[in-house]
């Protein structure tokens, strides 16, 4: 789609930016304390994360920025409860992940966190709406899934494309289906790993702007890993990673 509809969404998002950014001082939704993650590869130890500490405030678009191999995916996996630190603590929604049972973690991932990946990972034989409905079903969502799916597709500007299948959609549109799928369950947090990695730069910008809009409109916190310098134009807070450490934290769009 192009993209009057999307343009309207992005224009509208401008008026929300100040509001969301004021929350940069809000309470943390994620706290990582002295987290180290060492992978054993044969007899070698790979230090993917070295004693990382950070806090992500609620209600912002936060970026984990760094080159390939800097530790972004490892950190996202720790935050999402998909992996555990070798040492250190990850606290999500004020609860240490280490104190949760496996069932509680699954519950968290289904209901409180949405995931978006570089490769979209949507089902090729399902329409946009069916892709979103499938996620709602997995999450045990009992309300009208069709209505909820259409609402989510509307938010990402794909309302008119709800019945189209992935092959009829551009890469940017497919990624927006994946984003609709992630937000349809009303999570507190969306974790996105290089969501613009397979898109051209203009489309990548639209995805970043869309995340900012979602933060403002839905109150969802978004943490996005990227190596794209353009993120500086969109993120409220940027954590720069290098060689498994945080080199810098800055606030390109404070209040």
Ligand X SMILES: Nc1ncnc2c1ncn2[C@@H]1O[C@H](COP(=O)(O)OP(=O)(O)O)[C@@H](O)[C@H]1O
Q: Are 158 and 203 in contact (CB under 8 A)?
A: no
Q: Which is nearer to ligand X, 31 or 73 (CB)?
A: 73
Task: Looking at residues 70 to 129 of the shown chain, list those that interact with ligand X (rule: CB under 6 A).
Answer: 70-74
For the chain, the first-to-last Cα distance in angstroms comes to 32
Per-residue tokens: 56: 């992500």
With CB under 5 to 8 Å by kind, the binding choice for 48 among ligand X, Mg ion, none is ligand X
Place of tokens 């999450």: 139
Contact between 23 and Mg ion by CB under 5 A: the answer reads no
Q: How far is the CB of 152 from ligand X (least distance, A)?
A: 27
The interface region with ligand X, picked from 8-16, 65-73, 152-160, 212-220 by CB under 6 A, is 65-73
Q: Is 162 exposed, middle or buried (0-12, 13-18, 19+ CB in 10 A)?
A: buried
Question: Residue 8 in 3-state DSSP?
Answer: helix
Q: How far is the CB of 240 from ligand X (least distance, A)?
A: 11
Q: What CA–CA distance (Å, rounded) separates 41 from 37?
A: 13
With CB under 5 to 8 Å by kind, the binding choice for 70 among Mg ion, ligand X, none is ligand X
Task: Looking at residues 47 to 76 of the shown chain, list those that interact with Mg ion (rule: CB under 5 A).
Answer: 72-73
Q: What CA–CA distance (Å, rounded) separates 83 from 85?
A: 7
Sheet with 61-65, strands from edge to edge, namely: 113-117, 189-193, 221-226, 61-65, 237-242, 245-250
With CB under 5 to 8 Å by kind, the binding choice for 66 among ligand X, Mg ion, none is ligand X
- Name which position in 4, 41, 102, 147 contacts ligand X (CB under 6 A): 41
With CB under 5 to 8 Å by kind, the binding choice for 175 among ligand X, Mg ion, none is none
What phi and psi values does residue 102 have, to the nearest 5 degrees?
-60, -40
Q: Are 209 and 7 in contact (CB under 8 A)?
A: no
Q: How far is the CB of 90 from ligand X (least distance, A)?
A: 15
Distance of CA 108 to the CA centre of its chain: 15
With CB under 5 to 8 Å by kind, the binding choice for 46 among Mg ion, ligand X, none is ligand X
Q: Are 81 and 254 in contact (CB under 8 A)?
A: no
Distance of CA 188 to the CA centre of its chain: 10
- Name which position in 12, 46, 96, 250 contacts ligand X (CB under 6 A): 46
Contact mark string toward Mg ion, 100..129, x via CB under 5 A: ------------------------------
Q: Which is nearer to Mg ion, 82 or 100 (CB)?
A: 82
Q: Which is nearer to ligand X, 17 or 49 (CB)?
A: 49
* Residue ranges that bind Mg ion, judged by CB under 5 A: 72-73
* Residue ranges that bind ligand X, judged by CB under 6 A: 39, 41, 46, 48, 66, 68-74
């Amino acid at each position: 789609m192009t993209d009057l509809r999307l343009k309207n969404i992005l224009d509208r998002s401008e008026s929300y930016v100040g509001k969301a950014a004021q929350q940069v001082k809000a309470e943390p939704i994620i706290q990582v304390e002295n987290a180290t993650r060492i992978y054993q590869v044969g007899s070698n130890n790979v230090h993917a994360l070295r004693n990382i500490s950070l806090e992500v405030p609620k209600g912002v678009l936060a970026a984990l920025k760094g080159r390939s191999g800097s530790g972004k995916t490892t950190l996202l996996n720790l935050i999402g409860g998909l992996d555990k630190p070798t040492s250190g603590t990850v606290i999500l929604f004020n609860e240490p992940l280490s104190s949760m049972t496996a069932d509680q973690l699954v519950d968290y991932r289904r209901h409180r966190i949405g995931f978006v990946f570089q490769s979209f990972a949507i089902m090729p034989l399902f329409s946009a709406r069916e892709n979103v409905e499938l996620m709602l079903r997995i999450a045990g969502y009992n309300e009208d899934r069709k209505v909820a799916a259409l609402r989510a597709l509307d938010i990402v500007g794909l309302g008119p494309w709800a019945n189209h299948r992935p092959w009829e959609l551009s890469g940017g549109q497919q990624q927006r289906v994946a984003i609709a799928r992630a937000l349809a369950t009303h999570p507190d947090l969306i974790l996105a790993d290089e969501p613009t990695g397979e898109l051209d730069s203009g489309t990548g910008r639209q995805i970043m702007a869309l995340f900012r809009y979602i933060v403002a409109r839905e109150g969802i916190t978004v943490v996005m890993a990227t190596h794209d310098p353009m993120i500086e134009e969109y993120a409220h807070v940027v954590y720069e990673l290098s060689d498994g450490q945080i080199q810098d934290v800055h606030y390109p769009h404070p209040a």
